[in-house]
Amino acid sequence: MDSEAIVALLAREQCAAASAVERATPAIARAVDAIVARLRAGGRLHYVGAGTSGRIATLDAAECPPTFGTPPSLVVAHVAGGDEALVRAVEGAEDDGERGVQAIRDAGAGDAVVGISASGGAPYVVRAVAAARERGALTIALTSVAASALAAAAELAIVVDTGAEPIAGSTRLKAGTAAKLVLNALSTATMVRLGRVHDNVMVDVVASNAKLRARAMRLVCELALVDEPAAHELLEASGGSVKVAVAMHRRGVDAARARELLAQSGGFLRPVL
């Protein structure tokens, strides 16, 4: 095969992975509802993975604070082999089930734990999920194999049947794409259900750089119906919070009262407006 044929084949296979995720929508939605219930009650969301699965989980967890304004402790990832495994393979790390148990030791009964393993057999992930379930945590398996140890260990299972890989056994391909798509859906849908999105905009965005500060300014202009100088003043008074700034202007209140109104609405902006 020439390069174009190889790329075309890989692209088709990735599309097949996306279709497999779409077929798993009901299971993903059930997991979202269960996770939302735990987080609303003060719990946390833990991801556990090894290799590619762990790296994808870490990426999803790391992107929640800047995107949705969550504290870094709300969505956390545990990867076999620790931080070193994020940049290079740590041989044998996924086989250490006891390390998985230790990694998840701070997951309590009010938390949600998602174990990610394409084969569903990584001992680090399976043991972690089993230990978390014993302590009363909500446990969710994300795997490509229905009859796997991970699926059996968890309370809920998201099985994404991605089929054989274009390069046999290389689960960083279709299975990796599927894991990325599912975690995107889990975290994003959860944050929507928690009121951290208004319509389709990120109203809890953390304005940590010039691009995001400009985005926050645009959002305040659009949602509060003000010009840029007024939006700048509102953002300054609100401590950089888009939702607080918009509530301040639309309800004619100060920042403290705007925060109270948002707290009363469970973090949703729409009832405040």
Annotated catalytic residue 63: yes
Say how many C-beta atoms besides its own lie within 10 A of residue 68's C-beta.
Answer: 23
| Residues in CB range of 224: below 8 A, 6 or more apart | 230, 231, 234, 245, 246, 249, 250
76 and 57 in contact (C-beta within 8 Å)?
no
Count CB neighbours of 19 within 10 A: 13
List Cβ neighbours of 67 (8 Å cut-off, separation of 6 or more).
191, 202, 205
Sequence-distant (≥ 6) Cβ neighbours of residue 9 within 8 angstroms: 1, 166
Q: Find the catalytic residue in 13, 22, 84, 94.
A: 94
Q: Which residue of the set 4, 13, 63, 98 is catalytic?
A: 63
- Please give the structure tokens belonging to residue 241: 């919070």
Q: Is 260 a catalytic residue?
A: no
* Continuous segment of H or E residues that includes residue 76: strand 75-79
Residue 20 CA, distance from chain mean position: 19
Residues marked active site are found at 63, 94
